């Protein structure tokens, strides 16, 4: 998959939870050095990182800067968990630069802002709206093995919560190292987990409430 890059195959399938994500490349604006770059999924995997793709409808809109600002507040914690955070819209990298410069809510944004003007990447992840040419509010977590492990999609008028995104990443990071366990609702690091087995059937309350 590519975004404006010749010589690579276009996607013919759709993203599925639990399945590997194919290679893709997107042009981006990097606020850290105020320059343009490329987001290469292959490089993220080689670095052993988790990838968070944070799709939003458009630059110079209204809910979008509040979401990106909220995400920026959790960026450092997500990086400590081994995540590469990338926001994505169908705007160009040049529009990203202008928006980052003009919108004061984005002053703390340090993650890369990727451009998907053809909608190819957005379409693969199921968030592209052909009626508008925009992406819905979609958040996707891909593990270091390149497997999609989490998907969230909202309509245009509902903003997301980066605190919940951080919680989901923490749970997924924990479970990658503890594959025999499962995280119950509202789980945060240090809370009890579940160990699925025939002994747990009908006894979830007892396991969650037993004394250590």
- Per-residue pLDDT 10s for the chain (212 aa) are 444 333 334 555 799 999 999 999 999 999 999 999 999 999 999 999 999 999 999 999 999 999 999 999 999 999 999 999 999 999 999 999 999 999 999 999 999 999 999 999 999 999 999 999 999 999 999 999 999 999 999 999 999 999 999 999 999 999 999 999 999 999 999 999 999 999 999 999 999 998 65
The verdict on whether 64 is a catalytic residue reads yes
> Are 112 and 34 within 8 A, CB to CB?
no
CATH superfamily of 25-177: Glutaredoxin (3.40.30.10)
Tokens of 209: 């409430």
Alpha carbon 33 to its chain centroid, in Å, reads 22
How much is the pTM?
0.92
What pLDDT is stored for residue 210 in this prediction? 84
Q: Which of 3, 64, 83, 183 is catalytic?
A: 64
User: What are the boundaries of each domain within the chain?
Assistant: 25-177, 180-212
Phi, psi for residue 211 in degrees, rounded to 5? -75, 145
State how far the Cα of 3 lies from the Cα of 14, in Å rounded to an integer: 16
**Closest Cα partner for 149 from 16, 14, 1?**
16
């Amino acid at each position: 998959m590519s975004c404006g890059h010749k010589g690579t195959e276009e996607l013919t399938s759709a993203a599925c939870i639990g399945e590997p994500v194919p290679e893709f490349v997107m042009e981006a604006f990097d606020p850290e050095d105020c320059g343009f770059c490329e987001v290469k999924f292959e490089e993220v995997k080689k670095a052993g990182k988790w990838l968070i793709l944070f799709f939003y409808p458009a630059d110079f809109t209204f809910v979008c800067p509040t979401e990106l600002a909220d995400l920026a507040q959790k960026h450092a914690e997500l990086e400590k968990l081994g995540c590469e955070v990338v926001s994505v819209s169908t705007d160009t990298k040049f529009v990203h630069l202008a928006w980052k410069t003009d919108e004061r809510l984005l002053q703390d944004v340090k993650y890369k802002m990727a451009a998907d003007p053809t909608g190819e990447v957005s379409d693969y992840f199921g968030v592209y709206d052909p009626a508008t040419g925009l992406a819905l509010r979609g958040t996707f977590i891909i593990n270091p093995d390149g497997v999609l492990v989490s998907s969230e999609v909202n309509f245009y008028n509902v903003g997301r919560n980066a605190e919940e995104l951080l919680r989901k990443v923490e749970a997924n990071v924990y479970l990658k190292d503890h594959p025999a366990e499962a995280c119950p609702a509202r789980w945060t690091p240090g809370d009890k987990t579940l160990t699925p087995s025939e002994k747990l059937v009908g006894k979830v309350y007892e396991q969650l409430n037993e004394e250590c």
